[in-house]
Structure 1
Amino acid sequence: MRNLLVAIRHTLTLWLITALIYPALMLLIGQLALPYQANGSLITDSAGKIIGSALIGQNFTSNTYFWSRPSTINYSQDETASPTGVSGASNLAPSNPDLTKRITQEIQRLKSVGVTPTADLVYTSGSGLDPHITVAGAIAQLPRVAKATNIPESQIKPLIATHTQGKFLGIFGEPSVNVLQLNLALEALKR
């Protein structure tokens, strides 16, 4: 009986630490130290309405905007589900005909509007949710966006440079551009 009581006490103690104290402590530290990140890196408009997250890509289809990477889940079409969209990814093998068809269609779509396809504009990211494109991907779209918005390329190109983020920790990956933030800056330029 004594061993049973010791086991129950240890179980309750560990439950208290791992299910209540630790999560509450992490929540408190996150809210105090990094509130923007802890709350999902949400981006709001001037009225305070959530328009997206800096961490989850969005589907831009208008020629007046820079397009994101393609997504296997087509991002969220149901805005009532979540303000930042429903997320998910695909696990299609490279030999899957559906994947080959999607890539071929994406290349044809880009070429049809005069955009030279870059890898990030054709292939999804590992998660299918990446909100970034390469600098080359943004520059490839520059003539299309400039023509559609009637804004000279010379005025839009600095926006790409301004919204270019360096390599992670200075050594990992490549410089990238957050498409939502770039398009918000483009919207501001249109006004």
Structure 2
Amino acid sequence: MTVPADASRTNAHATHVNHSSSSCEAIEDFCLASAAVSLAHVHLPDQGRGDLDEAALEEREAMIRSALKRAAASADFLDTSDGERAVAAAALVVAQHPDGERTCSNYGPSEPLPELPADLRTLAVDALDQVVSERSELAELWDDAANGSKWRHDITRLRDVLDPPVPPQEDALFDI
């Protein structure tokens, strides 16, 4: 999956979650190319930090949390770079979820992450909801791209790991 030329300032990397832990080629099936930064490069310029791999182990959770909070709390407009960071951070949270898929070593952080707390799952869902909302520059750019529907599907797949949809109930629980 290719990042639309307008979707990012940098097309050097793409964010992916490996749907098949046995092969990195299977990444295309579960590609999150919306985040045109590597999972290892969740930059937080407002905190003056570098990328996730350069941070001390004890700082990594805070960096992921900050990227998710920034997107989730976006009241007016979520810009592309904050949306990309939120998708990358959410993918890291999904990778540690019991039902999630591990990140491929080609695209995930090269340094280990600490065990992320469960409360990040809810924050990641909120951030992903903002990423696909009408107030998101990233969603706007992907909506104009030929493969925008696949991007939305991939974001939904990430979100569904963290907050699975409730299947419709087929049978009545009781007769009235």
TM-score for both structures, normalised by structure 1:
0.27
User: Which structure has the bigger radius of gyration?
Assistant: 1
TM-score for both structures, normalised by structure 2:
0.28
Higher strand share: 1
